Amino acid sequence: MALTRVHYDRINHFLPEQRGNVVIDHFTFLRALQYMTENGCRWRALPKEFGNWFTIYRRFRYRIATGVFDRIEKELKTQVIDIKGIKAPALDSTYVKVHPDGTGAPKGRGIL
């Protein structure tokens, strides 16, 4: 499901005001995050249409640190409409691709 302006308008007030010479707007930033979660790509593999990958990464880290996404999630949970018995949304990490080194598995020692 693609992020639309209607979706964006519901959460726009949670995002900090953009100051200075901003090249990537909030809508493009959120679309880049959506692309990453849908395709499981690395930051550096983001298409050029989203802008500089490092700018998006820094914004993501800042939004996480300041709790912006937590406030958005809390607000969206209050706006959920009961559709076919669904009472609340839940984020499931089973669809996110993770490199084997990122799972916390012990490293191989090799053959002695």
Task: Give the whole-angstrom CA distance, residue 74 versus residue 71.
Answer: 5
Task: Give the whole-angstrom CA distance, residue 38 versus residue 97.
Answer: 9
* pTM score: 0.64
Task: Give the whole-angstrom CA distance, residue 47 versus residue 36.
Answer: 10
Q: What is the mean pLDDT of each run of 10 residues along the chain (112 residues)?
A: 77 79 82 87 89 90 89 77 59 62 63 54
The pair phi, psi for residue 23, each rounded to 5°, is: -95, -40
- CA-based nearest residue to 27, from 54, 58, 49: 49
